[in-house]
Structures are given as C-alpha cells and as structure tokens.
Amino acid sequence: MSGQSRFVGSAFHSARSLETEVRRALNSAEGLDIGSLVVRKLPNGICLEGVVRVSSDDFDVCSAVREIEGVGEVVNHLVICWNCPEPTSGVRDELFL
C-alpha cells in the first residue's frame, strides 16, 4: 500500500468518525428530534442537512456541534421545525388512501 493510499484511508476514517460523533451528539441532545440528518465533513468543519424538530425556541444546533473537537465552521442546511407537533400516523394513512 502506498503512502498516499494510507493517507486517503486515514482521512476517510477521520471524516467518518467526526460525522459519527456529530450524529451521536445531536441524537442525544435534549429537546431535539431528528427526522433526517446528513453530516458531511468540510475542510474547516461540517455541513448539516436534513429535517429536525426542536421543542425549545432557544436550542442552537450549531452551538451543540461546535463543542466537538474538529468542528470549526458549521454550514447549516437543516430545516428546523420549532415547537411542531409530532406527525400522527393516522393523518398520513388518510392521505394515501
């Protein structure tokens, strides 16, 4: 294996572990419900994409992930639903009948 191949593998592993750590931190955050989440490593930080529901008006998603080592810049492309009710399965079922 060449030195360059090892570096690429190491960089991939590092990006993957950072993405996993960010996902874990958001999953364990109080008052945050993740509908969908994509985390991408950027040269100076991360990009977040997806849909989340937040139960508090003062919850800051970016601050929650900036505390993680390796996260500097946060590009936030999340759709955030503030104080939204949980979707009910009955309504969804009625839409597709």
Domain count, the chain: 1
pTM given for the model: 0.69
Torsion over CA: 80, 84, 88, 93 (sign): negative
CA distances from 47 to 23, 33, 44, 71 (A): 12, 18, 10, 10
Q: Which CATH number do you get for residue 64?
A: 3.30.300
Range of the domain at 80: 3-95
- The structure tokens listed for 39 are 């985390």
- Interval 74-97: pLDDT, tens: 999 999 887 666 655 554 454 444
- Interval 40-78: pLDDT, tens: 988 888 999 999 888 877 778 888 888 888 888 999 999
Q: d(Cα 54, Cα 34) in Å, to the nearest integer?
A: 9
The arithmetic mean of pLDDT across residues 30-34, rounded, is 86
- The structure tokens listed for 75 are 């590009």
